[in-house]
Amino acid sequence: MTDEKYKSGFVTIWGRPNVGKSTLLNMLVGEKVAIVTPRPQTTRNRISGICETEEGQIVFLDTPGILEPKQKLDEYLVKSARSCLRDADVVLFVVDGTTPPHRDDKRAAKLIRNISKDILLVINKLDIADVPNLDPIIEEYKKLGNFKGGAAVSAITKINIPILINKIFELLPESPAYYPEGTVTDQQEKLAIAELIREQVLLSVRQEIPHGVAVVIKEFVSRSNELYYISATVYVEKESHKLIVVGGEGRMLKEIGKKSREGIEELLGKKVYLDLWVKVSKNWRKDEAALSRFGYK
């Protein structure tokens, strides 16, 4: 492979909540760079993950799920997602192959209908889809836009992921790499740590509290060559939510801290002393000042 044929570019992962965009990103990159929970609308910040092959480098931009905004945080999420379109060479419109188009699929498709970007249709969840009857569903999704092709894949079992990567490279320009070899993500460490903690909160409390959870890293210092000290605050919207996150005699918070620490140590390659605090910031998702303070700006 000659240098002239090396390809590199930005690919935005687009779609409504809960279609598996973050899981797909992690599979494409080959490492976990985005948090994944059973709850929709998990991703809040633009997450970049980088895939390298002999053919070139793909920089993936994971976006928050597209839905009709109902509060300030939702408005931020849609604005954040749309900002990723400006940087994209290719857009992956990811949909759920187990169901026909949802109204939020149609909303997401409308927002990219007139952009001057190459768009690939990605039918996800092939591992659990009704494959013999999938063609009519795919045809319904094809009506939502002018696609340059696509693939039916499973972000869980890796079905057709190599095919999707090849289709992406067909559309990318010849270009040198944007990031040094071996880079997996451009996330700042503080953001990555905050996301790991938020993931554990969402996984631990399951359906007991809504998505009114934000995590802010207050301190992140190296105490020695072998130890980081990290202090983080988990913000929730109600006193009752705080009681759930803390749990009886602090057991839930201890479990969240333990699992978070394990993930952070794997990320940083060092031992971590993690101090976790829980505070109430009433209705912060509707508060411009709170959104800015928590990093959503």
Q: Which two tokens stand for residue 129?
A: 């889809």
The reply to whether 126 sits in an annotated binding site is: yes
The reply to whether 21 sits in an annotated binding site is: yes
The reply to whether 66 sits in an annotated binding site is: yes
The reply to whether 19 sits in an annotated binding site is: yes
Report angle CA 109, 95, 154 to the nearest 5 degrees: 155
- Which residues are CB-neighbours of 5 under 8 A, at least 6 positions away? 55, 174
**Residue 188: phi, psi to the nearest 5?**
-65, 150
CB-based contact 153:122 (threshold 8 Å): yes
The reply to whether 231 sits in an annotated binding site is: no
The reply to whether 79 sits in an annotated binding site is: no
Give the C-alpha separation, 107 to 113, whole Å: 10
The reply to whether 16 sits in an annotated binding site is: yes
The reply to whether 89 sits in an annotated binding site is: no
CB-based contact 36:84 (threshold 8 Å): no
The reply to whether 166 sits in an annotated binding site is: no
Residue 145: C-alpha distances to residues 62, 105, 119, 216 (Å): 20, 11, 9, 39
The reply to whether 64 sits in an annotated binding site is: yes
The reply to whether 107 sits in an annotated binding site is: no
The reply to whether 72 sits in an annotated binding site is: no
Residue 227: other Cβ atoms inside 10 A: 12
CB-based contact 126:159 (threshold 8 Å): yes
The reply to whether 62 sits in an annotated binding site is: yes
Which residue positions form the known binding site?
15-22, 62-66, 124-127
Which residue positions form the known binding site for GTP?
15-22, 62-66, 124-127
